[in-house]
Structure 1
Amino acid sequence: MHNIEFPEKLECLFKPSRYKTLYGGRGGAKSWGIARALLIIGASKPLRVLCAREFQRSMSDSVHKLLADQIKAMGLQDFYQVQEGIIKGSNGTEFTFHGLRHNIGNIKSIEGTDVAWVEEAQTVGKSSWETLVPTIRKPGSEIWISFNPSLEADETYQRFVLKPPTDSIVVKVNWSDNPWFPDVLRQEKDDLKERDESAYLTVWEGHCKQTLDGAVYANEVKAALLGDRFMRVPYDASKPVLTFWDLGRADKTAIWFAQQVGFEYRMIDYYENQGHALAHYLKQLQTKPYVYGEVWLPHDAENELLASERTIAQQVRAAGYKVQITPKTSIADGIAAARAFFGSCYFDAEACADGLQCLRNYRYEVDPETQQYSKNPLHDWASHGADAFRYAAVSMRVPPPKRKAVANNGGGWMG
């Protein structure tokens, strides 16, 4: 193995601590340093390393290639065997790679993890952290976190930078801390600083953005924050709970849970998952202590089949729920409705944390030719929760159906 040099700020990686958080702007060599540190430690003693991201659809989304490149750069090819989905050391060290969101059941089954490295952690939601952290419970185990900050309200920034847990090392690492910062990036950095000072501070200095560039609901989120509408919103057992769905098969299914009280809409809960049949989501409804009113499904629920000869709407009705179909509108009209609807909403900050993260990060696409924001929202991890919220807004514009709640011992409530 070659002599390995590290930036001074990254020496903390070799000190024992339950949490090690490296955050900052581009060019600070955070991921590079973590990869090298883990490979060096793993060569000196057997280590089980879980390399995780919030979303990982394939190995190309993981740090697998980064680790493989560093193995070669440090001359460790004789020690580490790089396989398609795992990296193994001759002393028993193992690196495995997993996505957190919608794959948390597999993460729970991983026992004996010594280090969990969560890369690009700015997108990791509250539910993923609350499942992962207690899973890494081996005595002396550590959780390493690396990310470029986005919004101050993001769960990772709040949890590990602003209010870090006990036994934490928190280090901001920027380009200026990297003694090997390349000239090509230096020129790129300087050009951005001259062109857009605000963007420079975020990209290169690791400052949080006030609002996400191109965020669809930036003004609405800001108004809700200033109006203290992200709060504790208790469930009112005297009012029915309405649910608003965005359905997915390969993509996510997202559900908002709301109660209407006068002219207010109280968003009391949120749930999303991926890769499950409809029965999974109906079971989720039954596990919650709510009295249900209408289940609002998107317009295609009347003709979409989900591993069944019956439509989704038919299956939900058969489970004992009163189904309503969200009127079909253009995305632009739906966004306009959601902006108006936002002002009537109060959100439970804890139970709806992942849904709120979707609303904060829902943004417009950038036109590849003009580099300007288009009229079309970007389809990514945030779009499903935002779509379900848009459907809630559109649904609530129509006159509510007359109903009389009647108990259903099977877990559903019928109008």
Structure 2
Amino acid sequence: MSETAQLPIPAKLAPLFTATGKRYRCSHGGRGSAKTRTFALMTAVKAYQSMMNGESGVILCAREFMNSLEESSMQEVKQAILSVPWLAANFDIGENYIRTTDRSVRYVFAGLRHNLDSIKSKARILLCWVDEAESVSETAWTKLTPTVREEDSEIWVTWNPERDGSATDKRFRKSPGDDCITVEMNYSDNPWFPKVLEGDRLNDLRRLDPATYAWVWEGAYLENSDKQVLAGKYRIAEFSDTLWKEAERLFFGGDFGFAKDPNTLIRSFILHNRLYIEYEAYGLQTELDHMPALYDSVPGSRDWPIKADSARPETISYLRRKGFDISAAKKWQGSVEDGVAHLRGFDEIIIHPRCKNVAREARMWSYKTDRITGEVLPKLADGYEHCWDAIRYSLDGHIKGRSTVWDIM
């Protein structure tokens, strides 16, 4: 490949293929992200490079289930090759085969569920790309990985997440090794996202529940709605930036980060028993002296009172000295549960699309489930409540406790 050759791949995926020392190159996300087409194209680049280096072998394109070539990624690979003239000139493409013009590198398409033993006999697997990998079992991964054993051979993985904790998710997203690089890709990362899919997306945004929409288009897990704290209570929709003027007041709430937790500031208002969430600030590993700039990113943060987590009085004091009207929200035994009940007491919670982290947490904030039975338990799970803690704090005085004794923690 000449130094001036150009490849049409999304900028977000470029580092994935240029990173050195990686055996596993992976991408997960929702529909319309261009990850499948990009990986199909890059397998051809890998085959071309191997041919030019005098190597011979196989590019294995696998899926968990594949009963025929029609169910394989063959058409994706063909289209990707034909879209780049200099690649097309170096491949021989037939109805049922793809190979380099010198026949040194050829493609093999196989299903993992019923063909693992035969895959072991494939000569010199230079690269294995597993597409639609969400359902691939741990047993399949355990058998496949030592099969791809040539020097400098690689395994590429693409999938649309469905279940938090699937074998693929655990291996390549939750606990990847140093030899693995993983990138999330969604429609918003695709610079060539087609208009026809944009129409489908907008229709789904209107008619699907938020959790299903997020699974289809934003690469979210397909969650059990029974365990979601705000199931059936919220939606994501645009509203006028001046609508708040019809409300009695604005609410600002802040939650402070600890270690890996974010610092958040959320602005909202109440109108006709509906809670409108319209601006967010969400900062990871934000240093204390950068907190004022984070807060200033939310319009009106210096003009209205802010209620914040009482567990960090020193941070509240610092921000007050920096010109913010900030004070601690009250806490009491059961205040979190009372806050949840208050939030669910609104007729509706409407989240502006620009508040992406609030929307993500609304989808992910959940109750714990029994590890064995899957039964939903009356205990909140940790990890996706930082924006909603800020919202609870902002409603200080509106949320009523079951006790008359306030305990400032």
**Which runs of 5 or more residues in structure 1 are unaligned?**
214-224, 231-341, 344-415
Q: 1:212 to 1:141 in 2, by over 3 A?
A: farther
Cα displacement string for residues 60-103 of structure 1 (whole angstroms, at most 9, x for unaligned residues): 01111111112221123332112344311024122111111121
**Aligned residue pairs, count:** 221
Secondary structure in structure 2 of the residue aligned to 1:103: helix
1:136-182 Cα shifts (integer Å, max 9, x gaps): 11121110000111111321112211111331101000111110001
Give yes or no for contact 1:54–1:101 (8 Å, CA) kept in 2: yes
Corresponding residue number in structure 2 for 1:321: none
Alignment match of 1:206 (pick from 212, 219, 227): 219
Task: Give, in whole Å, the separation in 1 of the partners of 2:8 and 2:114.
Answer: 38
**Cross-structure match for 2:68:** 58
Kindly indicate whether residue 94 of structure 2 is the aligned counterpart of residue 89 of structure 1: no
In 1, the alpha carbon distance for the partners of 2:65 and 2:144 equals 14
> AA paired with 1:63?
S
Residue of structure 2 in register with 1:161 after alignment: 173
What is the CA deviation profile of residues 102-124 of structure 1, one whole-angstrom value per residue up to 9, with x for unaligned ones? 21111111232111000000111
Gaps of 5+ in 2: 52-56, 227-367, 376-409
Structure 1 contact 86–97 (Cα < 8 Å) conserved:
no
Match for residue 28 of structure 1? 33
1:177 aligned to 2:320?
A: no
Query: Which residue of the partner structure matches residue 146 of structure 1?
Result: 158
Report the RMSD for the aligned CA atoms in angstroms.
2.3
Range that drifts further, 145-154 or 90-99 = 90-99
Partner residue in 2 for 1:102: 114
Cα distance 1:212–1:138, how it changes in 2: closer, same or farther (>3 A)?
Answer: farther
Which runs of structure 2 are paired with 1:9-48 in the superposition (5 Å)?
A: 9-11=12-14, 12-16=16-20, 17-46=22-51, 48=58
Q: Which residue of 2 aligns with 1:122?
A: 134
Aligned letter for 1:4?
L
Separation in 2, partners of 1:157, 1:212 = 20
Q: What code does the residue aligned with 1:34 have?
A: F
Structure 2: distance between partners of 1:41 and 1:228: 43
What pairs with 1:238-387 in structure 2 (closer than 5 Å)? none
What is the aligned partner in structure 2 of residue 253 from structure 1?
A: none
Contact persistence 1:85–1:97 (CA under 8 A): no
CA distance in 1, matches of 2:106, 2:62: 14
How far apart, CA to CA, are the structure 2 residues paired with 1:74 and 1:151?
Answer: 36
Contact 2:91 2:100 in 1 (8 A): yes
Within 2, Cα distance between the matches of 1:135 and 1:203? 33
Equivalent residues of 1:54, 1:100 under 8 A apart:
yes
Equivalent position amino acid for 2:369 in 1: L
For 1:226, give the aligned amino acid.
T
C-alpha distance in structure 1 between counterparts of 2:9 and 2:67, whole Å: 31
Aligned residue identity for 1:228: R
Query: Whole-Å Cα distance in 2 between the matches of residues 113 and 14 of structure 1?
Result: 21
1:212 CA displacement: 9.4
Matched, 1:228 2:401: no
What letter matches 2:37 in structure 1? W
Is the partner of 1:101 in helix, strand or coil?
Answer: helix
Aligned to 2:257: none
Distance 2:18 2:67 in 1: 31
Identity of aligned residues (%): 33
TM-score w.r.t. length of structure 1? 0.50
Equivalent residue of 1:165, what SS? Answer: coil
Q: Larger radius of gyration, structure 1 or 2?
A: 2
Question: Hey, what's the Cα distance between the residues in 1 that align with 2:46 and 2:19?
Answer: 11
Deviation at 1:43, TM superposition (A): 1.8
Q: 1:81 to 1:111 in 2, by over 3 A?
A: same
Change in CA separation of 1:6 and 1:55 when aligned onto 2, cut-off 3 Å: same
Amino acid of the residue matched to residue 128 of structure 2?
A
Aligned counterparts of 1:32 and 1:14: Cα–Cα separation in 2? 17
Residues 58 and 123 in structure 2, CA contact (< 8 A), matched pair in contact too: no
Letter in 2 for 1:190: L
